[in-house]
Amino acid sequence: MVNGAYQALRLGDVGGPGGIVLTMVPDDNALLDVALGEDGIMTRLGKGGIHLSCSTVSPEVSEQLAALYEEQGSHYLTANVLGRPDVAAAAGLSIYLSGHPDAKQRVMPLLRALGRHIYDVGENVALANAIKLGANFLILAALVAMGEAAAFVEGHGLDRALFLRSMAESPLFGGAVYEGYGRMIGEQDYVDVNFPVPMGLKDTHLILEAAERIGLTMPVAELALQHLLAAQASGRSTESWAVLAEFASAPATLSVSFGRNAR
């Protein structure tokens, strides 16, 4: 027991009838497995229980799970978060919450212990997923732009690390993306694996698939996908997804044909 918490060694030991279970897993398949698999969360919660999912998954999977939980009288909520591990440790996350109103009120004390800003974005559980994918797209676009800008100034004989550091320190480009990822791209050091290439690929596929369903084209996301696939093909999957910036500044990578469904 640590700070009032007990370690559960089996999924079946997590939660109980009418309880609340919070999950954060890497992708759609993992979420479906912990929710619907053998001795999964849904069967453990029963009537009145709440599954609070913080995972970055497809809007469709959230809608599927919400419907299944509702059939048994329980609730599935989506609570997507923004913030790196240090922000989470300081309870400073931004949290986007969607789902049933009564269930949201019940989990609010838990979320207030995790985040500084909590946004109620509606009853449709897919809405919080859409916001998280939109946020990750902004990061993708920034990584591509920083990679190209670093190559541009370096081509003129300037220090790329100095350039990106000065951008992060300016009033225009401050913040975790330009400060943290900008340092990696400037120093060409991508050993921080809090969010490696495979996770970036997963989210980019989710963004493009969700965009396709609403008839939207996203050229920057398509470009970022090619750069991430090039990084993967070059054996750099264990590095931070910021490594795509190395390929964003290498035009030769664009001559390689990658299908969107490549994984």
Mean pLDDT per 10-residue segment, the chain (263 residues)? 70 85 96 93 92 97 97 97 91 97 97 95 98 97 96 95 96 92 96 93 98 96 96 97 91 43 47
For residue 55, give the H/E element and its range.
Answer: none
Is 192 among the domain residues? yes
- Do 51 and 117 share a domain, yes or no? yes
Q: What is the pLDDT of residue 255?
A: 38
- C-alpha span between 216 and 214 (Å, rounded): 6
As a whole number of angstroms, the distance between CA 116 and CA 139 comes to: 21
Last residue of a domain, one of 124, 141, 175: 124
pLDDT value, residue 3: 62
Pair 61, 140 in one domain: no
pTM higher than 0.75 = yes
66, 100, 124 — which closes off a domain?
A: 124
Residue 247 and residue 137 in one domain? yes
| CA distance linking residue 98 with residue 140, whole number of Å | 24
Look at residue 257 in the predicted model and tell me its pLDDT.
Answer: 40
- C-alpha dist (Å) from residue 83 to 2, 48, 101: 24, 30, 25
In this prediction, residue 150 carries a pLDDT of: 95
CATH number of the domain bearing residue 163: 1.10.1040.10
Query: Helix axis angle, 160-169 relative to 126-155, nearest 10°?
Result: 130
Closest residue by Cα to residue 138 from 204, 188, 72: 204
Give dist(CA 226, CA 82) in Å, integer.
25
Residue 263 belongs to a domain: no
Identify whether residues 33 and 61 lie together within a single domain.
yes
Asked about 104 being catalytic, the answer comes back as no
Instruction: Give yes or no: residues 164 and 95 share one domain.
Output: no
Looking at residue 7, its pLDDT comes to 83
Same domain membership, residue 187 and residue 135 = yes
Note whether 136 and 117 are same-domain residues: no
**Is 33 a member of any domain?**
yes
Please indicate, yes or no, if residue 260 is contained in any of the structural domains: no
Which residue is associated with the tokens 């931070």?
A: 240
Residues 109 and 213 in one domain: no
In a domain, 78, yes or no: yes
Does any domain span residue 4?
no
Nearest to 94 by CA among 134, 150, 140, 59: 134
Residues 110 and 173 in one domain: no
Determine the pLDDT at residue 252: 43
Give the Å distances, CA to CA, from 141 to 147, 207, 219. Answer: 10, 12, 10
In which residue are the tokens 């997963």 written? 202
pLDDT, position 256 = 39
pLDDT of residue 1: 44
Domain boundary among 107, 124, 141: 124
Residue 104 CA to residue 53 CA, distance in Å, equals 12
What domain range is 236 assigned to? 130-255
Note whether 76 and 148 are same-domain residues: no
**pLDDT at residue 9, rounded to an integer:** 81
Domain count, the chain: 2
The pLDDT, as a whole number, for residue 250 is 72
